[in-house]
Structure 1
Amino acid sequence: MTQKVGELTALSDDSLQKLIREYRAIDMTSLTPNEKGFQEFIDSNIDDYNFDMDRDENMNPYQKLSKYILKKYFRAINPETEIAFVSGVNLAVFLAIASTVKDGDSVIVFEPFTSNLKTAVELCGARPVYIPLRAPDFRIDWCEVQRAINATTKLMVISSPHLLTGQTLTAEDFEELQRLINGTKIKLILNESMAELGYRSSEGTSVNFYPRLCQVTYRIGSLNIPVALNDSEIAYCIAPEPLMGAYKNIHSAITSNPNLNRAEDFINILSAEIEGHMLADFLDENYKLLLETLKDSKLIPVKQSAGYMVMLGYKGYADIRDVEMVEKLIVEKGVGLLPLSGFYHDRQCHRYLAMNITVPRDEFKEALSRLASL
């Protein structure tokens, strides 16, 4: 039976996908880059890129990643004691949480978040303390962070660039962060799995440039996300040896290493494009097209500097819940987007939607055309 508009009271992943299929809507809800759309871009621009990969057979993946980090961030890391390869970003983050907290501790978590940090923190016996990123620019309010810190605070989990909002920590953010944790025993998890996906206008920076912060940080990166290859989820964690010891012990107790041959393939691709990654160029081009197409629309894009998910505000269009707005766009416009409320622990509606901008070009242009007519 056809779903009637307004019938949904909540939108699970299954019901959202069912509705998209029923109305044959353009699906822009994936939380991973679209391989087909990216490959299409590569085929059209292949002559503009250097594919001279580093195939040094005398270096293992740990040494190659260390070399890549040194070249990109001017930071030397020990490939034997400060790197771990893990099967996916979510697992890499969980291992860092499990290595750091115990019963009675609290962990500062910023919302919206895409991995289930609530469950991960609570499994380790700790309590999540939620701090929302402040709309409309979705930046961190450091005054609110300072108020949230107390004697039980042992860890802070930060994503930069942020998967959903595309915001990246600036030098000023890192200076505030360093000031806040100075003199404390708070550890940091910096999820920088999209660090290679900054737009040309990005002013963001990395924790790798802050030696004092690096001493208390688990820095999480991704090898497959920056090259839009989803056949193998391979992440890595970089941390100083005192932190990495516990991390590796827990990792070895619950799982094995991912395919290191595949990890080496991904590192080779990244190293070949260190002066300008293809996916970042693709995203920059699509984001500019989105801004131009929707400039007179009732959907207002959030200003951001990185990533393949783009936030759209609709407060000026309708005073309805985001799940209702998603349903309306699927049924009436044939475009499937994500409700932001699904990424808050209390499912609170903030009247923003998220869209993946890596779908193939014709689908992307058609979806934008439909949304622009709103």
Structure 2
Amino acid sequence: MALLPLRSKLPDVGTSIFSVMTQLAQEHGAINLAQGFPDYDPPQSLLDAFARHVSTPGHQQYAPMPGLPRLREAISQKTAHVYDVPAPDPATEITVTSGATEALYAVLAAVVHPGDEVLVLEPAYDLYGPAIRLQGGVPVYVPLTLPDFRPDWNRVAEALSPRTRLLMLNTPNNPTGATLTPEDLDTLAGLLRDTDTLVLSDEVYEHMVFDGQPHHSVLQHAELRERAFVLSSFGKTYHATGWKVGYCVAPAALTTELRRVHQFVTFSVSTPAQHALADVLPDTSLYETLPAFYQQKRDLFRDLLALTRFRLLPVQGAYFQVADFRELAPDTDDVTFARRLTQETGVAVVPISAFYHNGQDHGLVRFCFAKQEATLRAAAARLLAS
């Protein structure tokens, strides 16, 4: 008997733009500044710790569902140290997840019911919209203002409704590198004060904020913290994106709901990786040096690209550089430009329209500068020669 045609839950969704551009880069021998991963290794102390634990008896079996107690305790102490806030309870307020991606999906699955609205500030990471829709939720998009990608809180206020279940933040932002201020958090708290709207704050680039500025976490805002899931990523912090280990900090009642889903999605995360992370997390220098480490890369890359006809937008955080290419190709859409740059110049980038639900094209592309100096110089040389 022939099977009935499969009814897709996401009929309009194809392969991720990051996979598409990476594949194109491989086919054409291009330098891949499209996908956001470093081309250098994690700290040696972390690698050594992993090597120890991967051969330790008992460390090849399931970890506890919420995460190893010793890792959750280390996360609690680190959170209190970095943000000068009361330490979250490791037992009831911290959950180790298979990357921040799984945490994000589990949060949405836990709290979004069919018909609920979820506010998304865009450009936004391309996972957000499909993950919301898979829960039967309705994404409501509010554009960030150009050219600085600041939130328009009046438009956010207009978008809020009795059906708004969740508001998603991303600071520092991917793809723009824009960050939120304490005033932004105060304004948001005021907008949500008399509502039941929850907050999901994606803060995976928390340790990559530049020019002497601190990262302003939702965890530092007492009012917002009570209604927020805050996501972090060891993969981003320790240059180990392939390990896929992240975590979520949330009040106990919200954590309970998150774990109801987490236990049926991944159940638990790599045991030796968790032990290794617990070993190195007390070494504060590994993350306290990251702002200077990435600012040097940002400044080098901006200096190199200053000789091209790209117009570079400001970068406050994360490890991405957004650039306006319209002087180079005034009549070309960003997807076509990104493909041509990969195929003809040998440098792969991501078109910013991929971060808009409706493919808005502002003549912008995103470079990833989380690369070795030699990689950045080689990419710049190709761009200058084109």
CA distance in 2, matches of 1:275, 1:27: 26
**Offset, 1:344:** 1.6
Tell whether the 8 Å contact from 1:86 to 1:237 is kept in structure 2 after alignment.
yes
SS in structure 2 opposite 1:109? strand
2:80 aligns with 70
**Offset, 1:208:** 1.5
1:3 aligns with none
How many percent identity over aligned positions? 25
Q: How many aligned positions are there?
A: 351
1:79 aligns with 90
Equivalent residue for 2:38, pick from 19, 29, 33: 33
Whichever residue aligns with residue 373 of structure 2, its letter is R
1:237 aligns with 248
**Offset, 1:352:** 0.8
CA distance in 2, matches of 1:300, 1:86: 38
CA distance in 2, matches of 1:198, 1:108: 25
Tell whether the 8 Å contact from 1:81 to 1:244 is kept in structure 2 after alignment.
yes
CA distance in 2, matches of 1:268, 1:168: 30
Q: Structure 1 pair 115/85, CA: closer, same or farther in 2 (3 Å)? A: farther
Equivalent residue for 1:89, pick from 79, 90, 100: 100
**Offset, 1:156:** 0.3
Q: Structure 1 pair 28/275, CA: closer, same or farther in 2 (3 Å)? A: closer
**Offset, 1:228:** 0.3
2:372 aligns with 360
CA distance in 2, matches of 1:187, 1:59: 27
**Offset, 1:365:** 0.7
**Offset, 1:84:** 0.7
Q: CA RMSD in A?
A: 2.6
Whichever residue aligns with residue 216 of structure 1, its letter is R
| Higher deviation after alignment, 310-319 or 235-244 | 310-319
Tell whether the 8 Å contact from 1:223 to 1:263 is kept in structure 2 after alignment.
no
SS in structure 1 opposite 2:321? strand
Say if 2:221 is the partner of 1:210. yes
Tell whether the 8 Å contact from 1:299 to 1:371 is kept in structure 2 after alignment.
no
Say if 2:344 is the partner of 1:332. yes
Say if 2:149 is the partner of 1:138. yes
Say if 2:280 is the partner of 1:269. yes
SS in structure 2 opposite 1:60? helix
Unaligned runs of 5+ in 2: 1-14, 49-67
CA distance in 2, matches of 1:115, 1:338: 12
Equivalent residue for 2:313, pick from 302, 322, 326: 302
The TM-score with structure 1 as length reference comes to 0.86
Whichever residue aligns with residue 195 of structure 2, its letter is T
CA distance in 2, matches of 1:329, 1:255: 38
CA distance in 1, matches of 2:207, 2:192: 27
Kindly report which structure 2 residues correspond to 1:134-213, keeping only aligned pairs within 5 A, or say none: 134-213=145-224
The TM-score with structure 2 as length reference comes to 0.84
Whichever residue aligns with residue 164 of structure 1, its letter is P
Q: Structure 1 pair 11/98, CA: closer, same or farther in 2 (3 Å)? A: closer
Tell whether the 8 Å contact from 2:117 to 2:165 is kept in structure 1 after alignment.
yes
CA distance in 2, matches of 1:109, 1:330: 30
Whichever residue aligns with residue 28 of structure 1, its letter is L
| Higher deviation after alignment, 216-225 or 259-268 | 259-268
* 1:98-144 superposed Cα distances (whole Å, 9 cap, x missing partner): 22221221000122222422221122221100112222111211111
* 1:326-351 superposed Cα distances (whole Å, 9 cap, x missing partner): 12322332211111112221222121
Tell whether the 8 Å contact from 2:205 to 2:236 is kept in structure 1 after alignment.
yes
1:252 aligns with 263
**Offset, 1:369:** 2.9
Say if 2:232 is the partner of 1:221. yes
CA distance in 2, matches of 1:349, 1:213: 33
Unaligned runs of 5+ in 1: 1-9, 52-57
Whichever residue aligns with residue 329 of structure 1, its letter is L
| Higher deviation after alignment, 253-262 or 185-194 | 253-262
1:371 aligns with 383
Tell whether the 8 Å contact from 2:209 to 2:291 is kept in structure 1 after alignment.
yes
1:55 aligns with none
